[in-house]
Chain A
Amino acid sequence: MREKIIIGLALFAGALLAWNMNTIFTALPDELNQGAIYRIIYFHVPANILGMLGFGAGMLLSVGYLTTKDLRYDALAASVTEVALVFASIGLATGSIWARIIWGVWWAWDVRLTSWLVCWLIFGGYLMLRRAVEEPNQRARFAAVVSVLGTVNAYISYKSIEWWNTQHPQPVLSLRNGGGMAPGMEAPIYWNLLALACFAAILVMVRVRQEAFAREIDTLRRMVHAQ
């Protein structure tokens, strides 16, 4: 059953992505000022959205663990955060490449970029911390604390383009500010978001099951040592 869901999602996402890429590359014109490079937005924005949502979801799941002490919340939190970190990496990388053309530099120390990089570092530290703690309950507790504190930074990053004058472009999605993009150009962002979200879901499912394996191994090891 689970296999079927994964394969189904993968096929759906793959097809959606292929269709969307077709739209992006054939139907849409080049942007006036940016040329071809603007199409990176169709990966950059969805990846960062998924990253931020992932960190936020990780925080909620961490709080879920802290209130219920059920390790399955922790497993889900870790999986979601790890996948979110991957998408944040994609966001940082694609943003950097875009910036090389548009701003002339690979990196700029403006608030949005800096705070997002900080988030990446914090949640990278989250994963490192998880590996450093042996006992599952202690690991879950510590990870939960880092997750909550780190999400504060994610929120700062999200709001940064509103609170400060940044080099990073202002919100262009109609969800946030009424729309600054040409009509045909905005929809593919959402389609890509959907496709990438499906991939993210698959990765999270695989990862969660790996956490379950790890828990089982741990339990069995204790049984063996007890004998």
Chain B
Amino acid sequence: MFLRQAWTIAAKDLHSELRTKEAWNASLAFSVVILLLFSFAFDPSSEQVREFSGGLLWMTYAFAGALVLNRSFAREVQNDCLDALIASPVPSAALFTGKALANFAMLFAVELVSLPVLVLFYNIPWSASMFGPMLLVMTLGTWALTVIGTLFSALTVNLRLRELMLPTLVYPMMIPALIAAMTLTTQLLAGDPIGTGLRFLTAFDIIFTLLAVVFVDTVLVG
């Protein structure tokens, strides 16, 4: 029942997004532009660039993701849709999970397209064996960004200074996960073995998902 409700919400968000493709276009364009600009700023073929390839990728994901996450609850404010959703029999946790799933899908899609851009422009030697672990790191990292971003999107939705408060609150909270993802990605792309970051990222995801699901009702309703 819970899953069906969450799935309905997720499907609604994704349908709405597919129709306009606003966030998708903005997010993807932003991501590609950042990667492009950085390739002009630094010589992409030099060895040192390999060292921050992971950092660059996840910075791009975080900023492009913010475009998606920001709109997540904000788009419901028009026509009192948010009030309707809260008043409906759908529990807040299901509402949150649905939105988080939709956001995750959108973010992941943008990331999947941006990754080849990075590999191409920065001449990263890519081997097929990297694909699996890379997907795993992307999944875990993106879920962390999504969970935090969606929760705070709900929190800031009615604030006057939403545009300011959302990044201020969200980015510091994301930093541990971002750093772990960045380190793992750099290790992967360089062909080194992965460190303990995977364990940390998994624990981070679990803890923050639990906290978000517990608190979303407090945030939305009271």
Question: Is there a direct interface between A and B, measured as CB atoms under 8 Å apart in the complex?
Answer: yes
Query: Is the Cβ of B211 less than 8 Å from the Cβ of A149?
Result: yes
Q: Check A23 for interface membership: any CB of B closer than 8 A.
A: no
**Chain B residue at minimum C-beta to C-beta distance from A128:** B168
| Given A114-B179, A132-B160, A122-B172 contact (CB < 8 Å) | yes
| Given A132-B160, A148-B211, A149-B208, A122-B173 contact (CB < 8 Å) | yes
Q: Check A11 for interface membership: any CB of B closer than 8 A.
A: no
> Which size class do B's interface residues fall under?
20 to 34
Q: How far is the CB of B145 from chain A (nearest CB, A)?
A: 14
Query: Is the Cβ of A149 less than 8 Å from the Cβ of B173?
Result: yes
Mark A136-148 against chain B: 1 for CB-CB distance below 8 A, else 0: 0110011011101
Query: Is the Cβ of A129 less than 8 Å from the Cβ of B218?
Result: no
Q: Check A152 for interface membership: any CB of B closer than 8 A.
A: yes
Dominant secondary structure of chain A at its interface with chain B: helix
Contacting residues, chain B, for A114 (C-beta < 8 A)? 175, 179
Query: Is the Cβ of A153 less than 8 Å from the Cβ of B176?
Result: yes
> Which size class do A's interface residues fall under?
20 to 34
| Given A118-B172, A122-B172, A132-B160, A152-B211 contact (CB < 8 Å) | yes
With the chains together, A125 CA to B148 CA distance in Å? 15
Query: Is the Cβ of B218 less than 8 Å from the Cβ of A153?
Result: no
Mark A33-58 against chain B: 1 for CB-CB distance below 8 A, else 0: 00000000000000000000000000
Measuring CB to CB, which residues of chain B are less than 8 angstroms from any residue of chain A? 151, 155, 159-161, 164-165, 168-169, 171-173, 175-176, 179, 196, 207-208, 211, 215, 218-219, 222
Q: List 27 A-B contacts (CB under 8 A).
A: A118-B172, A118-B176, A121-B171, A121-B172, A122-B169, A122-B173, A125-B165, A125-B169, A125-B172, A132-B159, A132-B160, A132-B161, A132-B164, A132-B165, A137-B222, A138-B222, A142-B155, A142-B219, A144-B218, A145-B151, A145-B155, A145-B219, A148-B211, A148-B215, A150-B173, A156-B176, A164-B196
Measuring CB to CB, which residues of chain A are less than 8 angstroms from any residue of chain B? 66, 114-115, 118, 121-122, 125, 128-129, 132-133, 137-138, 141-142, 144-146, 148-150, 152-153, 156, 164
Given A142-B219, A150-B173, A153-B176: 14 more A-B contacts, CB < 8 Å: A122-B173, A125-B168, A129-B169, A132-B159, A141-B218, A145-B155, A145-B218, A146-B169, A148-B211, A149-B208, A149-B211, A152-B207, A152-B211, A153-B173
